[in-house]
């Protein structure tokens, strides 16, 4: 507790030594951070509208295909919703490359390349998908909080709407994983049994 108080005091001192405009300076800083992060997630959502179809093509579980197809539709609407957010704060919609989402999408691609089609690849796609959803949940949670702090209440409620959709997507992937992971593990056991049967047959 004491340490926190001290560091806050230290920050205040630095700001006042620059000349007592700290209130506005902080708000301007937060606003431009808010705008930058909006541009980042705008890029990320657009990238996802291209990445999700590849994940759908690689999936075999009907439940997974349905969940991803639903979320592709939701994602396209989220792109439009972000354009409303930009409009509500009076700046033009602009995308700035999100290195994190670019990396998550690349990893999803690697997983799909390195697994056999079927339940195991499905399990990998769910894992990659949930990493994406968690990134989005963190981002929209932060952006909504920034918007509220900045008094941008229309933006805040739009961002909260998307936040809830990302949470729903994450939950539906968790539900599907419950089944698919078991199936994937069973496939391992079946493969082991096949090997054992083959060995036994050889012995005979
Ligand atoms: Fe999204
Ligand atoms: Zn991002
Ligand atoms: Fe980013
Ligand atoms: Fe999402």
Distance 195 CA to ligand 4 centre (A): 40
Q: Give the pLDDT mean for 10-27.
A: 48
As given in the structure block, the two tokens for residue 106 are 């690349």
Query: What is the count of structural domains for the chain?
Result: 1
Ranking 34-38, 110-114, 158-162, 189-193 by mean pLDDT, the lowest is 189-193
C-alpha 190 – ligand 4 centre gap (Å): 34
Encode pLDDT of 24-60 as tens digits: 565 579 999 999 999 999 999 999 999 999 999 999 9
Cα(141) to ligand 2 centroid in Å equals 13
CA angle 101, 105, 111 (to 5 degrees): 145
Q: What is the model's pTM?
A: 0.81
Question: Is 131 inside a domain boundary?
Answer: yes
Question: Domain range for residue 91?
Answer: 31-184
Give residue 194's Cα distance to chain centre: 39
CATH of the domain at 69: 1.20.1260.10
- Dihedral angle, C-alpha 142, 152, 164, 161, nearest 10 °: -150
Find out whether 118 and 60 touch, Cβ atoms under 8 Å.
yes
Q: What distance in angstroms lies between residue 83's CA and the mean position of ligand 1's atoms?
A: 13
Residues having C-beta closer than 5 Å to ion ligand 2: 40, 44, 98, 100-101
Nearest-angstrom CA–CA distance, 168 and 162: 10
Question: Does residue 6 belong to any structural domain of this protein?
Answer: no
Radius of gyration of the chain (CA): 23
Which has the higher per-residue pLDDT, 198 or 86?
86
């Amino acid at each position: 507790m004491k340490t926190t108080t001290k560091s806050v005091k230290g920050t205040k001192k630095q700001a006042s030594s620059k000349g007592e405009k700290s209130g506005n300076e902080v708000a301007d800083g937060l606003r431009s951070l808010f705008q930058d992060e909006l541009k980042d997630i705008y890029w990320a959502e657009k990238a996802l509208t291209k990445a999700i179809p590849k994940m759908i093509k690689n999936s075999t579980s009907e439940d997974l295909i349905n969940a991803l197809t639903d979320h592709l539709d939701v994602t396209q609407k989220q792109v439009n919703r972000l354009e409303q957010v930009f409009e509500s704060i009076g700046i033009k919609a602009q995308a700035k490359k999100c290195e994190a989402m670019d990396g998550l999408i690349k990893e999803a691609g690697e997983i799909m390349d390195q697994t056999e089609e079927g339940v195991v690849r499905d399990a990998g796609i769910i894992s990659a998908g949930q990493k994406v959803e968690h990134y989005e949940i963190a981002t929209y949670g932060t952006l909504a909080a920034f918007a509220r702090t900045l008094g941008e209440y229309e933006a805040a409620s739009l961002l909260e709407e998307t936040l809830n959709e990302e949470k729903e997507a994450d939950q539906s992937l968790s539900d599907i994983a419950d089944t698919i992971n078991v199936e994937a593990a069973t496939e391992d056991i079946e493969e082991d049994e096949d090997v054992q049967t083959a060995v036994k047959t050889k012995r005979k």
